[in-house]
């Protein structure tokens, strides 16, 4: 009888020790997770660029350049003829025609620009 009580007491003590160590490990894990999420920065390069303050000074030389630009009227825009730059011509290349199963050559077209 004494032996069974002693073995039951030891198994309870082992289970209590395991439970206590598990609780301690989980608490340390949670505290580490909270600390790492607190210490980790979440700002990216794009965020840093977007939150930089604006420069309140205006570039007057740029504004002057904009004022000096030529403005076209709608009539001038309608009468404007777009110019097309000449393209380089590509000569067609002669290729061998593939042979079909019947033995006759299949005519193929070579694309030209």
Identify whether 36 is part of a domain.
Answer: yes
pTM over 0.75: no
Q: Which domain holds residue 27?
A: 1-42
Identify whether 25 is part of a domain.
Answer: yes
Phi, psi torsion values for 105, nearest 5 degrees = -80, 135
pLDDT at 31: 96
Secondary structure letter of residue 105 according to DSSP: B
Identify whether 37 is part of a domain.
Answer: yes
CA distance 113 to 107: 19
Identify whether 98 is part of a domain.
Answer: no
Q: What is the pLDDT along the chain (113 residues), one digit of tens a residue?
A: 567 888 888 899 999 999 999 999 999 999 999 998 888 777 778 888 888 888 888 888 988 888 888 888 888 888 877 777 777 777 777 666 555 555 555 555 566 55
Identify whether 26 is part of a domain.
Answer: yes
Tokens of 42: 């979440």
- Strand-pair partners of 99: 105
Identify whether 70 is part of a domain.
Answer: no
Pick from 46, 45, 24, 28: which is nearest to 36 by CA?
Answer: 28
pLDDT at 99: 58
pLDDT at 20: 97
Identify whether 28 is part of a domain.
Answer: yes
CA distance 15 to 11: 6
Contact between 113 and 89 under an 8 Å Cβ cutoff? The reply is: yes
How many structural domains is the chain composed of?
Answer: 1
Identify whether 95 is part of a domain.
Answer: no
Instruction: Give the distance, in angstroms, between the CA of residue 73 and the centroid of all CA atoms in the same chain.
Output: 43
């Amino acid at each position: 009888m004494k032996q069974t009580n002693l073995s039951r007491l030891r198994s309870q003590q082992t289970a209590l020790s395991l439970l206590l160590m598990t609780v301690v490990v989980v608490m340390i894990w949670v505290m580490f997770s909270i600390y790492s999420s607190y210490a980790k920065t979440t700002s990216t390069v794009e965020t840093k660029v977007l939150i930089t303050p604006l420069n309140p000074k205006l570039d007057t030389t740029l504004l002057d350049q904009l004022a000096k630009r030529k403005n076209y009227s709608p009539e001038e825009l309608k009468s404007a003829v777009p110019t097309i730059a000449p393209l380089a011509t590509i000569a067609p290349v002669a290729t061998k025609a593939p042979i079909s199963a019947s033995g006759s050559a299949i005519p193929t077209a070579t694309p030209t620009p």
